Chain A
Amino acid sequence: MSEEEQQIPPEDANAPINVKVVSATGDEVFFKIKRSTKLSKLQGAYANKVGKDVNSIRFLYDGARISDTDTPASLDMEDNDTIDVMVEQVGGCVPCSS
């Protein structure tokens, strides 16, 4: 029994995890990535898929911005975790008299 238990951790550490990327409108895209892969790769792939400039969208994990050097491992992400995508927010005034 103890042998079985010991085999699990190394598998977990290397196994790819599933990550769900959810846009503000609720659209979901699924990715499978290694825990050591930089999330910037995922960001680029997502931007490509939805046809947006990667600089115009923001990726959030647990409410905090994901930076280019982060990996699932560095953020302690687990299988089936969700990454939120927000669009760039720009503002200057109320556009029409509302």
Chain B
Amino acid sequence: MLFPHIKIFIMDLLGLAHPCDSSCESKLTALGTYPLCMVEPVETVLKAIQGITEYIPAMQELFTCTLEVNIDKELDYQATLQWGWSLPKKDETQNHTSTYLFNVLLYPRIRAASHCLRLIETAVDISSKALHSAADKHNIQTTKVLVAFQQMLVLKRSLQCILKMLFSAGRFILTEIPDFAKEISKLIIDPLRTLTAFDIDFGRIKEVKLKDFLLLDREKYINDEVMNYFCVKWTRRQPTKRVIALTTFFSAKVLFEHGNPRGEVYDRLSEDSLKYCKAAKVFFVPIHEPSGHWYSALIDYEGQKIEIFDSWGATYEKNSGRDVKDQKHAPLMLVLMWAAELWSSIRGVEPTDKPTVLLGDNKDSGWTFDPHALVAFQDNCFDCGIHVLDHLDRILRGENLNWKDKPSMDHRH
């Protein structure tokens, strides 16, 4: 079983005795007492781990990984080799020297905890599958995603506390050996400390607060933080697809002005989006309507099409039969066409791509436009944000979202 090992691992990190080995004293007692109140109680940590693996099975991989960090090993030989530390001899007299304590008891644990943290940060956090299936059902009935998130945060925080504690213990020991301390601090402690800062590298989107993720709950409206988080994360995870998701600010700042699509975007485009657009094949644009609605647009240079996906069924019913120029999203389509033309002249061009795109009044361009693509409709009044994320997910999977191409399909879930 996986679970008991985790328990031992956590207990060990905390410097507590092995639960099944009552005769064994706390391994770190020699280092004095620690502010255990800083740390979430062990049971909370264990519950968190159980919760995560239950809801996101992929996380089991993470905890199998942590077991590879052999914390029972008496000495971290790799560190010894790398830094040339003298091996403390394992006899009684040397057992409690500061060097021994640091090398044998502390350092491997710091490494293990750091490793664990790093794994959490780089491992699959929330699988797009979970959200995908939720979007299929048009709601998040179970709060699976949320629960897993909360648990992850608890675990992360706990690990950070554990590390903090280990660091303070480390400093305490190192005051006994000042020369050694200086070296160690520079080479090991400082770099490790920066690891615990939990700086997710999502470009500038560093840390989305839990209160934002809570908006993924049923009947909540998604905000820009959550939208941008997933847009950046998912597209970065699959760089080979060459899909670029612009931020929600792009639509607010560049495409719209006072709630209406802009007439002219050239000068605005040059500021913002251009640095992203090199080598992209597909642009995904999440769009926020100030009245409180999310929808999305796709500019696909490979498929030569621009489509606007709006999950609000009534808008589709009302506009699909109309003349193009009377359709609700037609003005936005014009802006997107301008954007597409401009980007095409700047982005890196593949030999197979057409070098420039001329869309205005150009019937031979080969491009198709659909301001009101037929997509899945939301059957409630709060899921449009989930639908936009679902659009991106499907695009990354290479699915064709526009169901007009597949008339036989029933688009009403």
Residues of A at the B interface (CB closer than 8 Å) are 24, 55, 58, 60, 62-69, 84, 86, 88-95, 97-98
Given A88-B224, A95-B293, residue A67 in contact with residue B206 (CB < 8 A): yes
Chain B residue numbers with a CB within 8 Å of A60 are 249, 253
In the complex the two chains form, is B294's CB within 8 Å of A91's CB? yes
Chain A residue numbers with a CB within 8 Å of B204 are 64-67
Given A86-B249, A92-B293, A93-B293, residue A63 in contact with residue B382 (CB < 8 A): no
Chain B residue numbers with a CB within 8 Å of A65 are 204-205, 228, 247, 249
Chain A residue numbers with a CB within 8 Å of B249 are 58, 60, 63, 65, 84, 86
Q: How far is the CA of A54 from the CA of B41 in the complex (A)?
A: 33
Chain A residue numbers with a CB within 8 Å of B288 are 89, 91
Given A89-B248, A91-B385, residue A58 in contact with residue B224 (CB < 8 A): yes
Residue of A nearest to B228 (CB): A65
Interface residues of B in 60-100 (CB under 8 A from A): none
Chain B residue numbers with a CB within 8 Å of A88 are 223-225
In the complex the two chains form, is B292's CB within 8 Å of A90's CB? yes
In the complex the two chains form, is B315's CB within 8 Å of A92's CB? no
B272 within 8 A of A: yes
**B interface residues, tally (CB under 8 Å):** 42
Q: How far is the CA of A85 from the CA of B288 in the complex (A)?
A: 16
Residues of B at the A interface (CB closer than 8 Å) are 203-207, 209, 215, 220-225, 227-228, 247-250, 252-253, 271-273, 275, 288-289, 291-294, 312, 314-315, 328, 378, 380-385
Main SS class of interface, A:
loop
Given A58-B224, A62-B271, A65-B228, residue A92 in contact with residue B384 (CB < 8 A): yes
Closest CB pairs A-B (n = 5): A63-B272, A92-B221, A92-B382, A89-B224, A91-B294
Q: How far is the CA of A68 from the CA of B385 in the complex (A)?
A: 26
In the complex the two chains form, is A91's CB within 8 Å of B272's CB? no
Chain B residue numbers with a CB within 8 Å of A62 are 271-272
Q: How far is the CA of A5 from the CA of B131 in the complex (A)?
A: 58
**Sampled A-B contacts (28; CB under 8 Å):** A55-B209, A58-B249, A60-B249, A60-B253, A62-B271, A63-B250, A63-B271, A64-B203, A65-B205, A65-B228, A69-B206, A84-B253, A86-B252, A88-B224, A89-B227, A90-B215, A91-B289, A91-B384, A92-B221, A92-B222, A92-B292, A92-B294, A93-B378, A93-B380, A94-B312, A94-B315, A95-B293, A98-B328
